[in-house]
Amino acid sequence: MPEKRQPPPTVRLRRLAAELRRLRAAAGLTREEVTERKGINAATLYRIEKARAKPQKRTLIALLDLYEATDSRRADLLAIQSGSNDRGWLRPFHAELYEEYTAYIGFESEARTVRNYESMFVPGLAQTERYAYAAIKGALPTASKRGVEQRVQTRMDRQALLTKENPLRFWAIVDEAVVRRAVGGREVMREQLLHLLQLMEEPHVTLQVIPFDKGAHAGMSGSFVHMDFPDAADPELVYVDSQAGDVFLETEDELRHYKSRFEHLQAIAAGPNESADLLAKLAQAKI
């Protein structure tokens, strides 16, 4: 009788596993030390941290106690655990809380390739600090100064993925409106355009612009990010930043839909060289 194939871990279970690994590392503990202190089977702990098994609630609480997790982190991870078998994930939006981005940032940091379509803003991985500040402040008019600064710093920290030893492969497609809108003013936008041109010189970065004269296209319904991962056991996923909050999609139909959309956008967008020419022209004209 053929062995029953185990379904891939859900996006929630993968996030729970990653957070538990991070908390253990922050506590300065090895897996062996955790098993000694809490009596958790070593193989079980390994499977939990690799998203191959869902931790029982009492096991999770024991780990959170040992790692001295904050109340907010404890509540968050317990909520993830309770729904860890569910496919898809919506994380509600809160203007003052940038912790909601930790799930996305975690997946992005583990990804091999990020394909990002943006209709309104320069992708976060490619933003300058001044552009990021203006973009976040404009999009979140009720956010506090501290909240905006936290988000900007987080966005700048994420960009280390593009300069590490084995950099993230990043393919961005943007609507022409993105490079023409003077976010932060003309000088800030000129600086941003020049930064994009510099990034495009890197072999692991590709940027395409969809010209206005292409008319209606598949990206007009909204921005999205598609990620794949080095480990074959980690399925691809799609992230959509909506007004309601962060949405993670992972079913085969959803992945097929967004992969098809990105391929269509690749086909209609100007090529990298033509896109670079447009950016240089706009930068010279100070948009």
Of 156, 155, 277, the C-alpha closest to 207 is: 277
Which one has a higher pLDDT value, 61 or 169? 169
Query: Residue 99: is its pLDDT beyond 80?
Result: no
The H-or-E segment that residue 17 falls in is helix 11-26
| Mean confidence (pLDDT) of the chain | 87
Nearest alpha carbon to residue 170 among 118, 100, 120, 248: 118
Lowest mean pLDDT among 83-87, 180-184, 209-213: 83-87
How many other C-beta atoms can be found within 10 angstroms of the C-beta atom of residue 65? 11
CA angle in degrees (0–180, nearest 5) for 199-112-48: 140
Mean pLDDT of 73-95: 63
Sign of CA dihedral 231, 234, 235, 237: negative
Q: What's the whole-number mean pLDDT along residues 17-28?
A: 87
pLDDT in tens, 117-162: 999 999 999 999 999 999 999 999 998 999 899 899 999 999 999 9
Residues in the chain: 287
> How would you label 71-91 residue by residue, b for 16+ Cβ within 10 Å and e otherwise?
eebbebbeebbeebeeebbeb
Report CA Rg, the chain.
21
Tell how strand 113-118 and strand 169-175 pair up.
parallel
Residue 213 contacts residue 269 (beta carbons within 8 Å): no
Which domains occur in the chain, in start order?
Answer: 11-82 (1.10.260.40), 89-284 (3.30.870)
- 166 pLDDT higher than 70: yes
Percent of the chain with pLDDT over 90: 54
Following CA atoms 148, 113, 167, 15 in sequence, which dihedral angle do they give, to the nearest 10 degrees? 60
pLDDT for residue 243: 67
Q: What is the pTM of this model?
A: 0.76
- The amino acid at 15: R
Each residue of 225-279: pLDDT tens digit?
999 988 776 788 899 987 666 788 888 899 999 999 999 999 999 999 999 999 9
Phi and psi at residue 178, to the nearest 5° = -60, -40
